[in-house]
Amino acid sequence: MESKTLDPKIQLAVERYKALEEKIAHFVMIGGLLEWDQKVTAPKKGRGIFAKAIGTFRTEEFKLSVSQEMGELLHILSADDVYEQLDEITQAQIRERLEEYNRSRKIPEEMYRDYVVLTAKANDAWEEARETNNFSVFQPFLEKIVDYNRKVAEIYGYEQHPYDALLHQYEPGLSVAVLDPLFAKLRETSVALLERIKNSGSKPSTEIFEQDYDVEQQNKFNTYFLPIIGFDMQAGRLDETVHPFAQTMNTGDVRITTRYLKDNVRSAVFGTIHEAGHGIYEQNIDPRLEGTALSTGASFGIHESQSRFLENMVGRSEQFWTFFYPKIQEHFPQQLGHVSQQDFYRAVNTVQPTMIRVEADELTYNLHIMLRYEIEKAVIGGELEVKDLPAVWNQKMRDYLGITPATDTEGVLQDVHWSFGGFGYFPSYSLGNLYAAQLLNTIVRELPDFYSQIEAGNFAGIQAWLKENVHRHGKLYTPEQLIRKVTGEDLKADYLVNYLEEKYSRIYNF
C-alpha cells in the first residue's frame, strides 16, 4: 500500500477528493451519534421532531455524496489511465464511492429526504406497535417503506429479481441466484438435523434458566468479560435498548447495546458477545482508513460473521465456559452454584424452536432467516402485500419450526429491521454463519491451539489473527475477495453444515 508519485494535477484531484470524503465521513459520524441518541437516550415525546432534524442532516450528507464536485472528481480519478496510478487504498475508495454515486444520484433528493424522515418515524411506530401488540399501528409506515424499496429496486436496476438490487446494498455481488442454492443446502440439512435432535433421548435440561437473574448482576458480568474477549472499553461503551445493536462513530468510539431480561440470563450474555463481535471489528480497522468509505466492514455478511463467530463458535464453546463459568457462578451463586459446568454448557447449546429470532439457538436461527428472506423476496417482488404479513409469518413459523406466535409482538413485529427499511439485510445473518464457519476452519488450521487459548482465557492471539486477516482491511476488499484471500476458497455451505453436525452430535449423543 505504498504511496505513488503522481502527476501534480492528479495529486490535486486526489487531495480534493479525500477532503470531500472526510467531510462526508464527519457527517456520517455525527449522524450516527444522532441515531444512537434517538434509540438509546432521547425522550419519546421529542422523537417526532428529532426525526425531521435527522432527515435534514442526512439529506445534507446525501447531497455531498452526489454533488457536482463529487461527480467531477470521480470522473477524473476513475479514468483507466489515472486509476491504475493510484495506491490500493485510494483505488478502493474510488471503487466504493463511484458505485454509491452511480446508484444514489438516481434517487431524487426530495424522495431521499422524505424516506429518512419516514424511517425515523417508523421506528417509533414499530416500538408502539410492538408494545401494544397492534400491527395496524406500524402497517401504514411499512407500506410506504415497501413502496419506496420497490421503486428503488427499479431505479437501481437488476438482471433477474428486483430483490437482487436490495441485496447488493448489504452484500455486494450477491443475488437470489447465488443465495438460493446456499440456503437450500443449509435449510435441508438443518431441518434433518433438527428432526434427529427432537428424537434424541439425551436432551439437556434448561431448568436452570427458569428463575430470576438480577439485571444489575447481569450487567456486571457483561462488563467483566467484554474487555477479556477483546472489546476495548476505552474505545466503546455498553448500553441497554429494546433491540441490541452496534453503532460506530469512529474506531475510537464504538457503542454497543444489549437487552436485559430478568428471566433469561442467556439473552444479555450472548447478545452482548454478539454485538462485541461487531464492535471489535470496527475498533480494529486500519487507522489509515479512518475518514473514508472504507472504514467499516467489507459487507453486512462479513460483519455478521464476526459477531456470530464470537457469539457461537467461541462464546458457546465448551472451552469458553471452562474459563468463564466460575465467574458467572460468582455473580449468580444461588442460581448456578449447584450446576456443573458441563450441564451449563449443554443448556446454553440446547436446540429448541422458539418464537424470537434473537433468542434462537444456533441451529434453528437459520430457519428464522429463511422465513424472513422468503417473505422479503415475495414482498419486493409484488407477490405479497404488507397487510398479509402477520398471517404469512405465522404460517411459515408453523411450517419451518412447528410453532405458532400467539401475538404479532412475538411474530411479525419482533424485528426492528423493516422499520429502518432494511430489506435485503436479513440474509446477512445466515451469510455471517456461513462465513464464520469457513473462517473457523482456517483459523483452527493456522492456530492449532485455538481452543486451548480460549480455555485459558487468552483471546489476544485469536483477536490478533482476526485483526490481521479480516478486521484491519475494513472495506478494502469486496466480500468475495476477502473470503477467498483468507480461506483460499469461495463461500461454501459445507463448513457450516459440518460444524453444526459435529457439534450437536456430541451434545445430543447420536
CA dist list (Å): 254 to 93, 116, 208, 299, 427: 22, 23, 33, 17, 24
164, 376 Cβ separation under 8 angstroms: no
The phi, psi pair for 297, rounded to 5°, reads: -70, 160
What b-and-e string marks burial along 307-343, b requiring 16 or more CB atoms within 10 Å of the CB? bbbbbbbbbbbbbbbbbbbeebbebbeebbeebeeeb
The SS3 assignment for 296 reads coil
Angle, helices 427-446 vs 460-469, to 10°: value is 110
Q: Report d(CA 92, CA 80) in Å as an integer.
A: 14
Sign of CA dihedral 184, 190, 194, 200: positive
The residues with which 161 forms a beta bridge, in sequence order, are none
Strands 253-258 and 246-250: antiparallel
324, 225 Cβ separation under 8 angstroms: yes
Q: Report d(CA 244, CA 241) in Å as an integer.
A: 6
The residues with which 255 forms a beta bridge, in sequence order, are 237, 247
List active site positions: 275
The SS3 assignment for 213 reads coil
What percent helix, strand, coil does the chain show, rounded to 5? Answer: 70, 5, 30
434, 495 Cβ separation under 8 angstroms: yes
